Structure 1
Amino acid sequence: MKRIPEQEIEQWPYDWKVWGRTSQQAPAGDWRVWLVMAGRGFGKTRLGAEWVRKVAEAHPDARIALVGASLHEARSVMVEGESGLLSIGAPWQRPVLESSVRRVVWPNGAQAFLYSAGEPESLRGPQHSHAWCDEIAKWDNSSNRAMAVWDNLLMGLRLGEDPRLVATTTPRPVPLVTRIIGDGDDVVVTRGSTFDNASNLPARFVQAMERSFGGTTLGRQELLGEMIEDLAGALWSRSLIENAREEAAPPCTRVVVGVDPPASAHGDACGIVVCGIGDDRIARVLADCSVEQASPERWARAVANAAGAWSADRVVAEANQGGEMVGAVLRAAEATLPLRLVHASRGKTARAEPVAALYEAGRVRHAGLFPKLEDELCGLMPGGEYLGPGRSPDRADACVWALTELMLGQQAEPRIWFE
């Protein structure tokens, strides 16, 4: 029986061909760009880092670009993260980070350089043999910045005999991702879902993701790795909302809870959306506290809880259906509720356009992910038609009321109305 060399035995625990899934291995063929679009938790970061490691260990003269949404993310995720370059491979072959010059150096001399997608000019001039771009769908799309970063990177990808680039991302229909997919025969696309890697993820995480995003359009994107296209002509688009997204909101000087009460306990959901505004005069969607198939007492209590949790200055509730009963139910849940009842004119077409215009102007942001609300917003069409999930956009209606109260005052009467 042939004896296995000791060096192979030592390398075996770090051999990505052994431990990585087939979908995480570089595809065969003469490709220039490998685009990996997959759900959260698929293992995209590990895939990208292992590809870079293989290149660096095989090519001592490799000069690799590492491009993240920001320098912080490039370092904390791509280099120093749990699946980053400093954490994988045999310990004696791992690189070191020279943070002062934004450089990663392997023992054999291969080098990688950190760049921010927010600084297109930093990639004008440097040359590379390979590149790894992470989460390209969240790169800054303002002023065509993401496109400029990509173009500058490609123009400098000219060292060595076979320059190649890997881009890893959660799929979102932003201009850069759409362009790459349509770029031609030298682009290979790999798709995957969160559940492909379920055996390596905590069961609670998988369950929480299914509970929060299962059955939603955003879940198809964030978990299943599908590219969700926008409805032509819709008031809101996925890219519009993505460009407005931030991880957390700054302190708010005023908070409003918008409420769209259901017609019955067995009908539509009760839309309850919390929005706030800060010193920068930009409104933020803070929470979606909507409840489904709730009795009047239950949805009224949910409104009171949301107002209390966010220290709301105002609760704006539509009273078209139920009239004074809406106010009575809400005050029964909390007598001190800062309530204002509003009425929408019957028979009119949708009045969400002024609020959509605020998004277009960059005056509204989403402090987090709100899958069901965002699905409804992206289903609103000019003229009042609704093509989103469910019979009625209750969450979107509540959001429109809250943002109108914060940003438009008495200038407009919001209403998502269907004839």
Structure 2
Amino acid sequence: MAKPNNVTAGKDLLQGLPVIRPETHGRHSLLDRLALRLRERFGTTEGFADRLGLTTQELLVLYYEPEYSLRPAQQPPDMVSAEFARWRTWFLLGGRGAGKTHAGASSVIREAKADPEARILIVGPTYTEIQKNQLEGPSGILTLAPPWFRPEHLKSKKQLVFPNGVKADYLPAADADKFRGYGYTFEWLDEVVAWKKDPVAVFTECGRVGRGTSARMRRLGLSSRKVITTTPAPTELFREILKQRRGLVLSRSSTLDNSAHLDDDYALQALDAKKSPIGRREFYGELEFDLDPALFRGVDWNASRVKPKDRPSTFDFIVIGLDPATGEKKGADEHGIVVVGVRREADGRDHAYVLADLSLKSPEPAAWAKKAVAALKEWEPRAKKDDGGRPRAWIFAETNTGGSMVTSTIHTLAKVKVLTERARNSKAERAAPVSMLAAAGLVHMVGKLDKLEEQLSKFTGAPGGHARDDRVDAMVWPIYKHVVKMRRNIGAAGSSELAIDADGCTPE
């Protein structure tokens, strides 16, 4: 194990740490390797149980035991190498869809089985995300636990109780003050990058309460353990985790390592993301502390620019992105109005074309509404029609500041289609995936849009960052809403190609 070391910043934080990575420890689970062998020999994996003469008991073991179903990067360090037998913190950095949640949930089940005296704490960003992802999702504990060891979910107590009596409490990071009074032997901390309320203090509190022990731990000389599964980000919390090097083991995994269980469109998105520093972080699990805070500054707009005479004549749909200077922004910013057309090109990818920047600053209260309606009427003939013969074109606006006023103001001028959404994530969280698409050449400026491009070059999305973001917001929202969020991620941490219907079975 790596010895404690006083390191503080940048690349030094990662130097000397033991790392489990696909290149050195293997890319496939034993079950996936079996599927590959069967496909090579027989051309199919169907009927594999009969071909291999497997019993029901053996099928259940293949399906539920992590040493067979998980890739090395998804397995707790002591399962990968005896060198890591006394690990304290397993820090699994992975791209989106790399199977991090599957790994974390499996580690909880394994610990509950192995130690009847275990006391487990599960922490996630919010109660909703804990239940949706860590407990009940396709890679959650309640889904992955074998039928004979499936815990009872006591929602009123916010607790799972396993058949052997092991209890696992779950709480969101914002409720760190409620962790006290317990001595946990095992903790699973998920998506720490999304912890909003003083994440370093929450992590410190996890350390305070994670000091329990058991007879098994004393017998084996083990300390309490933490499993941290997350998409990486160069935050102060990550620095704090990496400074605590005693017993720390990293696992690195990319989205493409799990490509056998990903939707094709999502795998394409991961391939495209390699061209962007943010994409390499989000999809390849790379952790860099010296990224340019300006999200679009590294984008070469000239490489993907389209001359107005060469732009497509029709689009799958057209959106007028609208960011009116209302509420607290009134009198300070311009009204952001940007026209975006989206179409599926021959490469099988959705390309976004920024057709016009019509942003303006005007004292007239409804000037932005008039401009947006005029833009919709000008551009909607270039949008394909839906089954009812109507152009697939609309105005889109965020409603955090303007509320229903945006729609009502537009509808006083014309009864056009208006879609709105209340933002639940930050500007940076919306812009980052759009910048990845732009770096991959999937966002095209049609002609020169100097003011928009200048604003993009300075945009960080950080609170208190570059003040002028009206044009950027108007451009980002349509692409984020109708391209990024529409890309599917089906079964990101799904089971092997070998189909085993094991639900409801019990071991012999």
**TM bucket by the smaller chain?**
0.5 to 0.7
Structure-2 residue corresponding to 1:169: 230
Structure-1 residue corresponding to 2:260: 199
* 1:82-129 superposed Cα distances (whole Å, 9 cap, x missing partner): 110000132111111100000001011111001111122122332211
Corresponding residue SS for 1:41? coil
SS of alignment partner, residue 119 of structure 1 = helix
C-alpha separation in 1, matches of 2:185 and 2:164: 16
Instruction: Tell me how far 1:300 sits from its aligned partner.
Output: 7.9
Partner of 2:208: 155
Name 2:105's counterpart in structure 1.
Answer: 49
Q: Deviations over 1:367-403 (max 9, x none)?
A: 6244464899xxxxxxxxxxxxxxx997552457996
Q: Mark the CA change 1:90 to 1:403 in structure 2 (over 3 Å): closer, same or farther.
A: same
Matched letter for residue 43 of structure 1: G
**Which of 64, 83, 101 is residue 14 of structure 1 equivalent to?**
64
1:404 maps to what in 2? 468
1:225 is matched with 285
**Which letter maps to 1:397?**
E
Q: Which residue is equivalent to 1:100?
A: 156
* Aligned-pair Cα RMSD in Å: 4.8
Q: Matched residues in 1 for 2:72 and 2:180: separation?
A: 35
Paired residues for 1:55-74 under 5 Å: 55-74=111-130
Query: How big is the shift at 1:215?
Result: 1.4
In 2, distance between residues paired with 1:315 and 1:173?
Answer: 40
Change (3 A) 1:61 1:286: farther
- How many residues align? The count is 313
The percentage of counterpart residues that share the same residue type is: 27
3-state SS of paired residue (1:190): strand
* Residue in 1 that maps onto 2:423: none
User: More relative contact order in 1 or in 2 (CA 8 Å, sep 6+)?
Assistant: 2
Pick aligned residue for 1:23 from 49, 73, 86 = 73
Q: Cα–Cα, structure 1 residues 49 and 265, in superposed 2: closer, same or farther, change >3 Å? A: closer
- Aligned position for 2:398: none
The letter of the residue matching 2:138 is E
- Corresponding residue for 1:123? 179
How many Å apart are 1:219 and its aligned residue? 0.8
Q: Against the structure 1 CA distance between its residues 202 and 394, is the aligned structure 2 distance closer, same or farther, given a 3 Å change threshold? A: farther
- The alpha-carbon deviation at position 286 of structure 1 amounts to 10
- TM-score, length-scaled by structure 2: 0.52
What letter matches 1:83 in structure 2? S
2:61 and 2:161 map into 1 onto residues whose CA distance is: 20
Map 1:110-149 → 2, pairs under 5 A? 110-140=166-196, 142=197, 145-149=198-202
Instruction: Give the letter for the 1:223 counterpart.
Output: F
Q: In the aligned structure 2, how far is the partner of 1:288 from the partner of 1:149?
A: 42
One-letter amino acid of the structure 1 residue matched with residue 133 of structure 2: V
SS in 1 for 2:280: helix
The 3-state SS of whatever aligns with 2:116 is: coil
Q: Secondary structure of the equivalent of 1:77?
A: helix
Structure 1 segment 157-306 matched on structure 2, within 5 A: 157-160=210-213, 161=217, 162-211=223-272, 213-230=273-290, 236=293, 275-276=323-324, 279=327, 289=340, 301-303=355-357
Q: Distance in 2 between matches of 1:164 and 1:37?
A: 17
1:162-187 CA distances to partner (integer Å, 9 max, x unpaired)? Answer: 31010000001111112212221321
Which amino acid in 1 is paired with 2:68?
V
* Cα distance in 1 for residues equivalent to 2:92 and 2:337: 31
Q: Which residue type is aligned with residue 73 of structure 2?
A: S
Q: Answer yes or no: is the 8 Å Cα contact 1:287–1:370 preserved in 2.
A: no
Q: Name stretches of at least 5 consecutive residues in structure 2 with no aligned partner.
A: 1-52, 79-83, 218-222, 296-300, 312-319, 343-351, 360-366, 381-425, 439-448, 460-465, 472-508
